[in-house]
Structure 1
Amino acid sequence: MSNDRVRVRGLSIYRPIIYGNTAVVLSPEERAALPSAQADHTHRWTVAVRSAASAPGSNTVGGADDISYFIKRVTFKLHETYPNPTRVVDKPPFEVTETGWGEFEIQIRINFVAEAGEKQYLLYHHLKLHPWTAVGSGEPEIPPPDVAAKSGPVHSWQYDEVVFNDPFQSFLNILMAHPPTPLPKVKTRPVPFNIAHPESIKDAKSGGTPEFTQAMITEEAERLEKARKDVIAEQDKWRGILIEKERELERLRKQLEG
């Protein structure tokens, strides 16, 4: 067997990606130009899988790197009301642009290049068309089109790290030959809204093209670690309560038997 097809045991290597969508309100002229079957469409949106880093000066979220060296194909499963709802994209950019009026869940299936020898990677994304609103703010979840248009594009993106454990040597060589563009260390643009980080709503409403940063990823990891510790502490608390109740039950049982 060629050494290239031998797995490098004990090694993990990852590639950062983002997935999500950007949506804009159609102008009256754009709506008038739509086919009659799409007369009720209000937005144009693009759903995509991209590298996490953004190109300098770009108005696109992510996409600084060509990720086709490890991703062979991305399949987007849209709502069944769309013609040909299963959209297969086998070359970059891995994205689909459509028009519509409603939000729905999109299944995203990533197939890797043959050298990877890996199973497909499945993701789910809720298509976001309307501006983000803070809970309890009193703002309408679906504002009138003219109001929404003034807010600019709506962005909804998630960061993920595709981890390859024990990669084949040939695939590892490919990955090492294409190091990802590092995320910026500090914030120079708005950060993408994250429901687990409510304060990011300010950036989401400020306008501009968001960008992922190393600081943002670190903060998210710290929030996840805190949440993990909180869950463990809560489990320990209830475990202690359960043990005490069981002891009390045993004491009562002995009293009844006596």
Structure 2
Amino acid sequence: MSHSHLTISARKQGEYQSDDGASAAPKQPRLKFGKSAEDTDKKGANRRLKDVEICVPIVYGTIAFYLGRKASESQSHKWTVYVRGATNEDLGAVIKRVVFQLHPSFNNPTRVVESPPFELSECGWGEFEIAISLFFHSDVCDKQVDLYHHLKLYPEDESGPQSTKKPVVMESYNEIVFPDPSENFLARVQNHPAVIVPRLPAGFNLPDPVPIENLHEKEKGDTKDHPHSQWFMNFSEADELLKLAAARQQVQAHIIKLRRQLSMMDGLPQLSKPPTGYEFT
């Protein structure tokens, strides 16, 4: 699949079906937007921060329960499709709305969810591909992300009757990367538990966060207390955290390099030795 200013590859590698719930799952490549054009930059708090990236890990998928005795020929399963934070945190600070495109046989197959948690539930008997479109707040990005997920109702092991207690879970992990974010966006998510932001240089001041209209008036948007959270996959493995830490160090090293270049341009005295943790060879 291709999308303007967005590259997606090996999408299927990130899909994972749960056998026991809350088990670890493999990850997949990032979705990265192209950098903002110079002429789209604005002054003030909407000013773009060059050489900075904000990463938002997300999980999207479906969970399906067999209805058992309550099942009918046309409604054998109750299922939910959703987009959640990888650690079940509220994504409302980044995502404005999510549009789910269901099979044409459903009434009103285009479903728009305007606030977190971004999910919808339905009943049916057939499996099909669901298109999921993510739309972001105006100070985040003016592009949308289009994802595709296959609704799975039946387990791989079909021996014996299907359980009504153990659902079929199919999820995909991804990371949406926003290069050159606006100061507004960075200020709002700087301490957000669902968003990965680089450490900023000492003395760098961000504007006061601008609250999103009606954001705090809506229902609780995280999925930590979600009724199906016990079945969600765990995408927070220690090795991935180490990779994130390494990425942060690379960003920090790049920032230090840029600060040195700026200080040279301004004619300021240079550091006599590299900061702790960085050695010249």
The TM-score, its normalising length taken from structure 2, stands at 0.55
Indicate the SS of the match to 1:44: strand
Question: What code does the residue aligned with 1:85 have?
Answer: P
Question: What code does the residue aligned with 2:145 have?
Answer: Y
Counterpart Cα distance in 1 of 2:136 and 2:66: 34
Indicate the SS of the match to 2:45: helix
Counterpart Cα distance in 2 of 1:83 and 1:213: 34
| 2:167 match | 153
Counterpart Cα distance in 1 of 2:195 and 2:47: 28
Deviations 1:199-226, CA, capped at 9 Å, x for gaps: xxxxxxxxx624323338749x9xxxxx
Measured after TM superposition, the shift of residue 150 of structure 1 is: 5.6
| 1:71 match | 95
| 2:113 match | 89
**Tell me, which stretches of 5 or more residues in structure 1 are unaligned?**
33-38, 54-62, 134-139, 183-207, 222-258
State the percentage of identical aligned residues. Answer: 39
Kept in 2, the 8 Å contact 1:78–1:107? The answer is: yes
Aligned counterpart for 1:175 among listed residues 173, 178, 189: 189
Deviations 1:152-195, CA, capped at 9 Å, x for gaps: 1110001111111111111111121423289xxxxxxxxxxxxx
| 1:110 match | 134
The TM-score, its normalising length taken from structure 1, stands at 0.59
Larger Rg: 1
Kept in 2, the 8 Å contact 1:131–1:151? The answer is: no
Count of paired positions:
168
Residues 77/217 of structure 1: CA separation in 2 closer, same or farther (3 Å cut): farther
| 1:48 match | 82
| 2:60 match | 19
| 1:162 match | 176
Aligned counterpart for 2:149 among listed residues 125, 143, 159: 125
Kept in 1, the 8 Å contact 2:103–2:109? The answer is: yes
Measured after TM superposition, the shift of residue 2 of structure 1 is: 3.5
Measured after TM superposition, the shift of residue 73 of structure 1 is: 0.3
| 2:4 match | none
2:19 equivalent to 1:5: no
Question: What code does the residue aligned with 2:231 have?
Answer: T
